[in-house]
Amino acid sequence: MLISVIFIPIGVASLLASRDVVEIVDRYETDCIPANYTGDELSFIQDPSSNKTCSRTLTVPKHMKQPIYVYYQLDNFYQNHRRYVKSRNDKQLRSADNANSTSGCDPEDRANGSPIVPCGLIAWSLFNDTYNFSLNNEALTVNTSGISWKSDRDKKFGDNVYPRNFQNGTLIGGKRLDPSRPLSEQEDLIVWMRTAALPTFRKLYGKIEVDLEANSTISVTLENNYNTYSFGGKKKLVLSTTRWLGGKNDFLGIAYLTVGGLCFFLAMAFIVVYLVKPRQLGDPSYLSWNRSPSGH
Amino acid sequence: MDHPFPHSSLNRIGSSRSKASGRNSIDGSDSSGAIANLGNLAFSVEGSRLSASTRQRYGSRGARSDGFASQKEISDEDARLIYINNPEKTNKKFEFTGNSIRTAKYSILTFLPRNLFEQFHRVAYIYFLVIAILNQLPQLAVFGRAASILPLAFVLLVTAIKDAYEDWRRHRSDRIENNRMATVMLNGHFQSKKWKNIQVGEIIKVCANETLPCDMVLLSTSDPTGVAYVQTINLDGESNLKTRYAKQETLSRMPEKEGIEGLIKCEHPNRNIYGFMANMDIDGKRFSLGPSNIILRGCEIKNTAWAVGVAVYTGQETKVMLNNSGAPSKRSRLETHMNREIVLLSLFLIVLCTIVSTCAGIWLRRHRNELDFMPYYRRKDFSQEKEENYNYYGFVMEIFFTFLMSVIVFQIMIPISLYISMELVRLGQAYFMIQDTWLFDEASNSKFQCRALNINEDLGQIKYIFSDKTGTLTENKMEFQCASIQGVDYNGKKASLGEPDDHPVIVERQVLRPKMKVKTNPELLQVVRSGKKSKEGKHAYDYFLALAACNTIVPIIVETQESGLRLIDYQGESPDEQALVYAAAAYGFVLIERTSGHIIIDVWGDRQRFDVLGLHEFDSDRKRMSVIVGCPDKSVKVFVKGADSSMFSVVDKSLNSDVIRATETHLHDYSSLGLRTLVVGMRELSSLEFEEWQSAYEKANNSLMGRASLLRAVAVNVESNLSILGVSAIEDKLQQGVPEAIESLRQAGIKVWVLTGDKQETAISIGYSCKLLTSDMTQIIINSNSKESCRKSLEDAKTMVKKITALSASALRIPVALIIDGTSLVYILETELENKLFELATACSVVLCCRVAPLQKAGIVALIKNRTDDMTLAIGDGANDVSMIQMADVGIGISGQEGRQAVMASDFAMGQFRFLVPLLLVHGHWNYQRMGYMILYNFYRNAIFVLVLFWYVLYTAFSLTTAINEWSSVLYSVIYTSVPTIVVGVLDKDLGRRTLLKYPQLYGAGHRQECYNSKLFWLTMVDTVWQSAVIFYIPYLAYRHGTVDGSSMGDLWTLAVVILVNIHLAMDVIRWTWLTHAAIWGSIVATFVCVIIIDAIPQLTGYWAIFHLASSGLFWANLLAILVTAMVPRFLVKVFNQHVRPGDVQIAREAEKFGNSTGYSALDVEMNTISEPPQER
């Protein structure tokens, strides 16, 4: 009973919060393949010379209050794969003195005889699609600073560690890093290196710090560089506002309501049972040997 | 058959107490074998060669074949030769060990390998070692090196430190022991020498109250007759004095002056304390040595100024060292069941691993073309010139590795910590049992002892109790009650406590008084006082003289604080004899002094010296003892006392049939009162008869071959044509609270069987007085002398029982009591009749076995134990109970009057029989309930964690990533969740002590295995799957398509699991103490702290994750949802069960809580009788 009293309001509140969130999701990885490459996405994406630019238009369904978070969502990308999560070296990321410690990073530990900074598969596969937004032909600025955890910038990624020998191997995995900026300032890398828990995940790309009116149209110019075609992954662009429960997810609210309702129902059932067939608590005559007529 | 111990003073002398029969049996002709076995069995606890062979035999017939008591001449090959006072020559040929002892197990060098070797005897450790090793292979490294080895290393280290400390203490005590000083003959003088330097063959002098440094043969003592008294408390725990004799031939030799040379040929070292065979050659004369000529290491010399002996066994070869072994290890029923479930869990583990590896195989197969370039897989390494597979060993190997890795990841499915927690819990339970004031015996100031630490919970499932009678149900404090002298009954009804100064005994102006006062019958006292004038007086004189003389009691004078007053303390091995001598003293026949040659008895102030010309000790064939005494008036008399059955056959029937008839009537009267009776007889020997006897006696005594049988023949010869002096009756008082205790146990559904060596009448009367038998019972008595008659009576009995049960099916049930004697058991045990007996006995509510031999006791226990799953408990106090105590699932020793052998062999030891009630009904119930719950909870706790890991693995492309930090998984069963289970396992009480004692029926919970059974196990497992799914899927669904990173998710799962299992525990805790609170909530807090610490290490990937997580509302909403949702089904089932199908325990608990006081007044009465201080903890 008590549980239902607590749970139902929480459920309602979280459901409301979730409903309040405005979310725009745009899946683009198939649409951004030029028609002549259909069926041969791999050669398209692997061809450095092909034009990867792609335009998308998004309609804002409801008024969106700032900050509006811009995420990219990858499906079927196992950032939690054992081979992948281990392929990094936190020592190297922290300080320039440890540039040579690349243990655990193979096969992306060294290239052309010298160590890679940052090494490992995670850094190597850094997401490299880019998005440019414009509203009514006026560019929308996307603020890409402050998207990573402050704790990561301060402690995990050194401000004296500069990318070196990065993406110089035979196989380019993803984005190249600006060798003149320290890792602590490369926030897209920092976000990427916080590997996702689940195979479908979103990562913060940036924030739009203006309100968007309902029914306004945003045009997105994106560079479709990242190769998810090799494993059939999906790519989505997400714009979302946020509430106290985070993004849009009805599950928790429904769960609370269900459990609360169930508890309420069961409590009622018990009360009915109790009223229909009461049992005096601690009545010795109920003891098994008192009930059977022959005694023990 | 020859008696193995010709001179054993260890045989209880002269009592019909078959109880005394620690080494006694009913079936005469075979008993000595049984005795020998027992002596050995008692001390070869850990299944030595000898006991292994004897344990298999329970019928006393079978015992015959144990041939170590053979009378063969010791051949040179199996003998050790000892040249007296010539250690060089003695030690030249044979390498006898030195006298230094070593109880320590390890030296500094051997410690590490040996200790590890011993620790790895546990299968569980090996399992973990294998997993740790697997984890070291680079292909399989799931956890970091440190994290994988740490838990095992921790456990090993703790155990090693404990072992090392214990061993260091042993080293220290060894050193002290080895450096003690002894007086040893060196070059003709006695000099001091360290114990460790003593060699075989050396002559050693020991003074009063000194401890013996090695086993030695007595050469001479301060006593002119060569008697030495030793206290064997360190050896067998018996506190009374035992007499040992030096041989006449060596007595007069003074080694200091004339030197002594000779050769002792003795058997090789063995662990039989009561056996020694040797012969000694001195001056060309050869004579044999027996167990009464040897004094053993660890004993103390008492009442003897000095004793000189020659060392025969030293150091590790001494009997005390050979007997240095602990109690047998038993395994609890619960643990056996638990192992079955552990096998199930391993199967479960294998299933999980197979699922994972199969899925991984399918995944690899489906993506086989993409693996090379997949950013998160990257099979190919492109950094080298040649493209190579990186960390990929082919499809099949990958699957295989996945399987092994999943074993590593899911390893804690097998709850390794369970073993350690169980040990700790048992330790805690034992502590509370030991500290329990209800189990404290104030009379003997003895605490409850837990000698076996691994069967605590078995106490909650006992179905059969096999109890010894004397000393267990009764106090074994003998009190002289009645006398029948020449057919005149002087019973104790009119008795009064005699004035102590009635007849003071004055020696050197000091008053001597017996230590114990005995009630005397004034009428009889009057008769005795009248002296030998009247006929009755004459008879009474002889009667009490016989009581005072015919025994092996040693009077010891004890100084008191009062000047001029000394007490006589009668020391002896048989409490019956003590009682008789005290009684004689109360009637004015005070035994003052005993040497091997004479005794001095003060008869109403007149000191008389009697020469003890010969002594035929008690043996279980004759069931009597006799002493040949030269009286002051130069007449020679034989005094005999013994069991009625044996005495009436040697009585001169022609003398007075009236007296005999009257005596028989009295005997019957006494024994039906539950008294222990002895018949005393006498004969005066003519000089011719005496000489005849003397020559035969000496011949027999000096013979080497078959001395025991020769002596027995002599004894039988002289113990004939006796005139009956009378009958003595000794009361063996029931212990306090025994009837109530038996009633409680019976109500609890426990069957109490009494196995006693006593006579049938005595046994039945005791049965009545302790309410084991009641008048409404139908008694079935089986006394048979052949197999055929046994079969017949068994069949008759069975049909009768059937009839009775058929009759009583409708109306009230008529209980049936089976009374069976040892002779019948001889024909039943180990034959096909056993099954019949079993069926019959289990149909009866009471079984009483009388006249049973020690091994038969074990046989009866085995009868039940081998045929049912029910737990058996044997309780006893004497050496004769040792075999049954070791046979039963739980053995309890009563630390009573009869020495400590039973205690040494037992699993638990306590002071009184009635303590069984709180022990079983209260502690047994608690222990069982706690342990059962704890095991289930541990299974649940580990399985839920594994399952959470498993669910996650399904979402990592089956690559066995764990979201939960590896340190958290290591600490999970060590810090996060271990303490509360242990605390709850030690402290939780489902019901109060009062309730448990009030409703003994509640004990049935253990019989019905309510707290641990397969159904509960499966229910728990289903619940576990549900809870783990909730833990995993609620956050999964809530964070799906979110930005959450692996470490945060891991932290959430860690916290959710820990909080959930702790709340789960909290929900089941019944009695909260501050410790429980501290443990449960403390664990949750500790987990938070640990997670925070782990996340504050920047080197780890999860750095600061917990802080980000905790700042979001989603996290807390998730946590709450998990906890409630996971608990709902369990809570529901629990409430439903409690309301609709309440168990007895549940109702009793409610009664306790809501305190309906109606029933308590009756309880208070009962409780006060059972135990004094009602103290709730």
DSSP B388: E
Count Cβ neighbours within 10 Å for each residue of B515-541 and write b for 16 or more, e otherwise: bbebebbeebbebbeeeeeeebbebbb
From start to end of B238-293, where are the E strands? 241-245, 263-267, 278-282, 285-289
Nearest Cα of chain A lies from the Cα of B412 at a distance, in angstroms, of: 20
Contacting residues of B for A230, CB less than 8 Å apart: 370, 373-375
At B689 the three-state DSSP class reads helix
pLDDT, one tens digit per residue, over B320-332 is 777 655 445 567 7
What is the C-alpha separation between B910 and B737, in angstroms, rounded? 15
The residues of B assigned a catalytic role are 468
Chain B residues with CB under 8 Å of A7 CB are 1124
**Most B CBs within 10 Å: which of A3, A82, A272, as the mutation test of the B interface?**
A82
Residue B67 has pLDDT above 60, yes or no: no
B350-B356-B357 Cα angle (round to 5): 85
Selecting from A80, A156, A249 the residue whose C-beta is nearest the C-beta of B1103 gives A156
Question: Which chain A residue shows the shortest CA-CA distance from B1035?
Answer: A252
Give the closest-approach CA distance of B1151 to chain A in angstroms. 4
- Encoding tokens for residue B719? 């113990």
| Ranges of chain A with pLDDT below 50 | 292-296
Measure the CA–CA gap between B1113 and A201, rounded to whole angstroms: 20
Q: What is the pLDDT of residue B230?
A: 83
A149 contacts B1108? CB cut-off 8 A? yes
The DSSP-derived string for B394-430 is -HHHHHHHHHHHHHHHTGGGS-HHHHHHHHHHHHHHH
Contacting residues for B572 by C-beta, under 8 A, at least 6 apart: B240, B551, B552, B553, B554, B578, B581
Q: Among partner residues A174, A266, A288, which is closest to B1144 by beta-carbon distance?
A: A288
Residue range B95-115: average pLDDT? Answer: 80
Q: Do A281 and B1150 touch (CB under 8 A)?
A: yes
Which whole number is the average pLDDT over B363-374?
Answer: 85
Comparing alpha-carbon positions, the chain B residue that sits nearest to A157 is B1098
CA closest to B1136 among chain A residues:
A270
Return the half-sphere exposure (C-beta side, CA atoms, 13 A cut-off) of residue B1041.
Answer: 15
Closest-CA residue of A relative to B1140 is A279
Q: What is the pLDDT of residue B510?
A: 67
pLDDT at B369: 82
Of A108, A252, A289, nearest to B1001 by CB-CB distance is A289
Q: Report yes or no: B75 at the A interface, CB cutoff 8 Å.
A: no
* Those residues with Cβ within 8 angstroms of residue B489's Cβ, 6 or more apart along the chain or in another chain: B482, B662, B666, B669
Rounded to an integer, the average pLDDT of B473-488 is 80
**Contact between residue B802 and residue B816 where contact means Cβ atoms under 8 Å apart:** no
Element (H, E) at B484: strand B474-485
Half-sphere exposure for B720 (CA within 13 Å, toward CB): 9
**Is the pLDDT score of B1166 beyond 70?**
no
The answer, for B1045 touching chain A at a CB cutoff of 8 Å, is yes
Pick from B762, B715, B729: which is nearest to B616 by CA?
B715
Strands A53-59 and A138-140: unpaired
**Per-residue DSSP letter, B371:** T
**Does A108 contact B at CB distance below 8 Å?**
yes
C-alpha distances out from residue B1052 to B60, B960, B1044, B1045, B1106, Å: 68, 18, 11, 11, 8
Least-confidence region, from B114-128, B375-389, B617-631, B1051-1065: B375-389
Q: Does B1033 touch chain A (CB under 8 A)?
A: no
* pLDDT surpassing 90 at residue B782: no
Q: What is the pLDDT of residue A27?
A: 93
Cβ <8 Å between B1153 and A282? yes
Of chain B residues 1092-1121, which have a CB less than 8 A from chain A?
1098-1101, 1103-1104, 1107-1108, 1112-1114, 1117-1118, 1120-1121
For residue B1139, the chain A residues in CB contact (below 8 A) are 270, 273-274, 279
pLDDT at B1058 over 90: yes
Q: Which of B379, B955, B961, B1037 to mutate to test the interface with A (most CBs of A within 10 A)?
A: B961
- The rounded distance, in Å, linking the Cα atoms of B584 and B528 is 11
CB contact under 8 A, A284 and B1156: yes
CB contact under 8 A, A10 and B380: no
From residue B703, give the alpha-carbon distance in Å to each of B6, B32, B249. 11, 20, 15
Q: Which residue of B has its CA nearest to A1?
A: B1128
Would the CB atoms of A85 and B1046 count as touching at under 8 Å? yes
Residues of B in contact with A194 (CB under 8 A): 1045, 1047
Q: How far apart are CA B877 and CA B897, in angstroms?
A: 8
pLDDT, tens digit, for every residue of B709-768? 888 888 888 888 888 888 888 887 788 888 889 889 988 888 889 988 777 777 887 888
* pLDDT tens, position by position, B1086-1111: 999 999 999 998 888 888 888 988 88
Average pLDDT over residues B838-857: 84
Is the omega angle on the peptide bond into residue A107 within 30 degrees of 0, that is, cis? yes
For residue B50, the model assigns a pLDDT of 34
Q: Taking 80 as the threshold, does the pLDDT of residue B559 lie above it?
A: no
Measure the CA–CA gap between B374 and B389, rounded to whole angstroms: 13
- Interchain pair A170, B383: CB under 8 A: yes
Whether residue B550 contacts residue B574, with contact meaning beta carbons closer than 8 Å, is answered with: no
| pLDDT of B27 strictly over 70 | no
Question: How do residues B947-966 score in pLDDT, each as one tens digit?
Answer: 999 999 999 989 888 888 88
Give burial (CB, 10 Å; 0-12/13-18/19+) of B985: buried
CA distance A137 to chain B (A): 30
Q: Are A190 and A148 in contact (CB under 8 A)?
A: yes
Q: Provide DSSP, B828-891.
A: HTTSTHHHHHHHHHHHSSEEEEES--HHHHHHHHHHHHHH-S-EEEEEE-SGGGHHHHHHSSEE
pLDDT for residue B897: 59
Please count the other Cβ atoms lying within 10 Å of the Cβ belonging to residue B162.
10
For A25, the enclosing helix (H) or strand (E) is: strand A23-27
Instruction: Look over chain B and give the mean of its residue pLDDT values, rounded to a whole number.
Output: 79
> H-type helices in B107-144, by residue range?
108-119, 123-136
Give the β-pairing of B816-821 and B846-850: parallel
Residue of B nearest to A277 (CA): B1140
pLDDT at B54 over 60: no
Give B1158's contacts in chain A (Cβ within 8 Å): 284
Output helix, strand, coil percentages for chain B, rounded to the nearest 5. 50, 20, 30
Among A77, A110, A231, select the one facing B370 at the smallest CB separation: A231
Residue A55 DSSP SS3: strand
Q: How confident is the model at residue B8 (pLDDT cuts 50, 70, 90)?
A: very low
Residues of B in contact with A23 (CB under 8 A): none
Q: Tell me, rounded to whole angstroms, the distance of Cα B439 from its chain centroid.
A: 16
Confidence label for B17 from pLDDT (cuts 50, 70 and 90): very low
* pLDDT at residue B280, as a whole number: 83
CB proximity list for B936: less than 8 A, separation 6 or greater: B1012, B1016, B1017, B1020
**Strand B778-782 versus strand B816-821 pairing type:** parallel
Residues in chain B with CB shorter than 8 Å from the CB of A166 are none
Q: Flag if A80 and B1001 touch (Cβ within 8 Å).
A: no
Lowest mean pLDDT among A116-130, B271-285, B588-602, B1153-1167: B1153-1167
What mean pLDDT comes out for the span B843-857?
83
State whether residue A273 sits within 8 Å of chain B by CB: yes
Q: How confident is the model at residue B704 (pLDDT cuts 50, 70, 90)?
A: low
Lowest mean pLDDT among B555-564, B655-664, B1051-1060, B1063-1072: B555-564
Chain A residues within an 8 Å CB radius of B1135: 270
Which residues have C-beta within 8 Å of that of residue B834, sequence separation ≥ 6?
Answer: B828, B863
Residue B626 near residue B718, CB atoms below 8 Å: yes
Pairwise CA distance, residues B1055 & B606, whole Å: 90
Of the candidates A152, A247, A279, the beta carbon closest to that of B1139 is on A279
Q: Give B158-175 pLDDT, tens digit per residue.
A: 778 877 887 888 888 888
Tokens of B1019: 């229910």
Q: Is the dihedral of CA B267, B271, B273, B275 positive or negative?
A: negative
Q: What is the pLDDT of residue B254?
A: 67
Q: Are B152 and B129 in contact (CB under 8 A)?
A: yes
B738 CA to chain A: closest CA distance, Å? 21
Is A244 at the interface with chain B, CB within 8 A?
yes
Q: Going edge to edge, which strands form the sheet with B510-514?
A: B505-507, B510-514, B565-571, B554-559
Residues of chain B above pLDDT 70, percent: 84
DSSP bridge partners of B667: none
Residue B69 pLDDT level (bands cut at 50, 70, 90): very low
Quote the CA–CA distance of B1107 and B31 in Å, as a whole number. 80
Q: Is pLDDT larger for residue A288 or for residue B1170?
A: A288
Model confidence at B538, pLDDT cuts 50, 70, 90, reads confident
Q: List the 1-60 stretch of A: residues with Cβ below 8 A of B.
A: 3, 7, 10, 14
pLDDT for the residue B899:
60
Q: pLDDT (tens digit, 9 = 90+) per residue, B486-495?
A: 878 887 665 5
Among the partner residues B813, B1043, B1140, nearest to A204 by beta-carbon distance: B1043
Query: In the numeric block, which tokens belong to residue B403?
Result: 């399987």
Q: What is the pLDDT of residue B29?
A: 36
User: CA-to-CA distance for B542 and B682, rounded, in angstroms?
Assistant: 8
Whether the complex's predicted ipTM is more than 0.90 is answered with yes
DSSP conformation class of B638: E
Query: Higher model confidence: residue B702 or residue B704?
Result: B702
Place of tokens 């005494």: B629
Q: Chain A contacts of B953, Cβ < 8 Å? A: none
At B989-1022, the pLDDT tens digits run 888 888 888 888 888 888 888 888 889 999 999 9
Q: Kindly give, in sequence order, each residue whose CB lies less than 8 Å from that of residue B505, ignoring residues fewer than 6 positions away.
A: B511, B512, B513, B590, B592, B602, B605
